[in-house]
Amino acid sequence: MFPFAADRRWLSALLAVSTALALAVTAAPHARAQGEETPEQLRQRLAERLKEDIGSTTKVGTGARSGKDKDKGPDKDREGRRAGGKSTTLPSVAVAASAARPEVHWSYTGDNGPDRWGQLSPDWKQCAVGTRQSPIDIRDTIRVDQEAIRFDYRASRFSVVDTGHTIQVNVSSGNFIEIMGRRFELMQFHFHRPSEERINGRQYDMVAHLVHKDSDGRLAVIAVLLERGQDQALVQTVWNYLPLERGDSYDAPVSIDLNQLLPKDKAYFTYMGSLTVPPCSEGVLWMVLRQPVQLSSQQISIFSRLYPMNARPLQAGSGRLIKESN
């Protein structure tokens, strides 16, 4: 049932960077992928899945994490959730609290939708009270000669995870960007439909978020806007290895090169924001590439069968400075 056992590196990368997603949602399937799920747990999970409204509520169960993962999980959670200086105290609180509340549901619509995230868990308060939240409508930018983002991407192995909130691709180590004197490593990328961010009010068909982390645990996310048009080769490779079941992971037998997902023009908008999913931690450096990349209608429809709408609504700009490349 779970033939795609994740190796330790994948697991630790996954645990470290599922910040753009619910940590426990991605961790639990890997615990199961290591063959630690009892038949009873399996039956229960199947029953839950049948009850689930696809595309809305998803079960989050930190309690399902295995003992072996606990060695690594909480530490990695701390790293993954530490989005910047201001957020350093948040993660340990979150881990301790979630141990007492093994199940927290969140979704993009309904009773556990975005306007409720901040109330669903004390660890997620930022979702409601934060003033540096993402996504935003990018407008009233200041145009300056921004330093170029130095992309150091290479062909890499990957696994595709259906997290219950998105399709996430965990990539093997060795992919970096350099910006503002810091080197960030690519941990994972994932998709939203439609795009969460808008440019002067315009929303795109989809967006890919490439989540990077530096050695201090700071996060930098590159957003690649996706619009309807030609086939996108890298997206197709990812779709080819979609796991059949929600919660499962598929270790692809081929490589991808993230350079293939980048537009020719690397001009970008940049601002300080947050994770766009609980716990909505702030201190995330956002870089939204201005030139969109095309993907085909068929490629969009494949994603939308799984996730018709997984975009957090716009958040207040609150006077934040947004820079744009000349």
Binding site for Zn ion (CB under 5 A): 20, 209
Closest distance of CB 100 from Zn ion, Å? 28
Q: Toward Zn ion, which CB reaches closer, 59 or 209?
A: 209
Q: Toward Zn ion, which CB reaches closer, 277 or 322?
A: 277
Q: Toward Zn ion, which CB reaches closer, 190 or 246?
A: 190
Closest distance of CB 164 from Zn ion, Å? 14
- DSSP 8-state secondary structure symbol assigned to residue 147: P
Q: Toward Zn ion, which CB reaches closer, 20 or 261?
A: 20
Closest distance of CB 203 from Zn ion, Å? 14
Q: Toward Zn ion, which CB reaches closer, 6 or 210?
A: 210
Residue 228's alpha-carbon distances to 38, 207, 240, 287, 314, in angstroms, are 43, 11, 19, 21, 22
Q: How does 154-192 read in b/e, with b if 16+ C-beta sit within 10 Å?
A: eebbbbbbbbbbbbbbbbbeebbbbbeeeebbbbbbbbb
Closest distance of CB 134 from Zn ion, Å? 9
Closest distance of CB 8 from Zn ion, Å? 25
What residue number has its CB nearest to Zn ion? Answer: 209
Instruction: Give the total residue count for the chain.
Output: 326
Contacts 24+ apart (CB under 8 A), 90-97: 90/123, 90/126, 90/279, 90/281, 91/281, 93/122, 93/123, 94/123, 94/279, 97/121, 97/122, 97/123
